[in-house]
Amino acid sequence: MLKIYNTYIHIPFCERKCNYCDFTSLKGSDNQIEKYVNYLLKEIDIYSKEYDLSEKQDTIYFGGGTPSLLPIDSLEKILSKFSYDKNTEITIEVNPKTVDINKLKGYKKLGINRLSIGIQTFDNDKF
Ligand code: SF4
């Protein structure tokens, strides 16, 4: 069984779709995001029959889309499917508009230790 040490998890939702964007992403409602997370958890279970996900992960990367749209409890459910410790590099792509101090504290508590911050503009009139 192939052992997996590095995992990329795609969260294909954004607050809105930027017209220049080629990534797989769409504007998602809370309901769609919750549904997606539930299917993602099932898919991880299916993959774990074919791939060994029990090894401690070197890296886990939440990309998108805008994974920072996910509530903390969804991230917790996803991470609970993997083995990791404080040496695992866990990254989440963040739109600064979608996080506050509580969410950042939640990330830290979950072991997320790296933020990838995307900024389209520093001009509020263009946002
Ligand atoms: S926020 Fe990023 S991923 Fe989302 S639509 Fe815009 S460019 Fe694409």
pTM above 0.75, yes or no: yes
Strand partners, 116: 93
CA distances from 75 to 20, 41, 48, 51 (A): 28, 11, 18, 21
Question: Which burial class, exposed, middle or buried, applies to 88 when counting CB atoms under 10 A from its CB (0-12, 13-18, 19+)?
Answer: buried
Q: Say yes or no: CB of residue 66 within 6 Å of ligand 1.
A: yes
Q: Which of 16, 19, 23 to mutate to test the pocket of ligand 1 (most atoms within 8 A of CB)?
A: 23
pLDDT, position 120: 74
Within its chain, how far is the Cα of 50 from the centroid?
A: 22
Q: Say yes or no: CB of residue 25 within 6 Å of ligand 1.
A: yes
pLDDT, position 127: 62
Q: Say yes or no: CB of residue 21 within 6 Å of ligand 1.
A: yes
Where the chain has pLDDT below 70, the residues are 127
Q: How far is the C-alpha of 119 from the C-alpha of 64, rounded, in Å? A: 14
Q: Which domains does the chain have, with CATH numbers?
A: 2-15+23-117 (3.40.50)
Per-residue pLDDT of 39-50, as tens digits, reads 999 999 999 999
Q: Say yes or no: CB of residue 23 within 6 Å of ligand 1.
A: yes
Nearest to 13 by CA among 120, 98, 122: 98
Torsion on CA atoms 84, 57, 66, 125, rounded to nearest 10: 90
Torsion on CA atoms 37, 38, 44, 45, rounded to nearest 10: 160
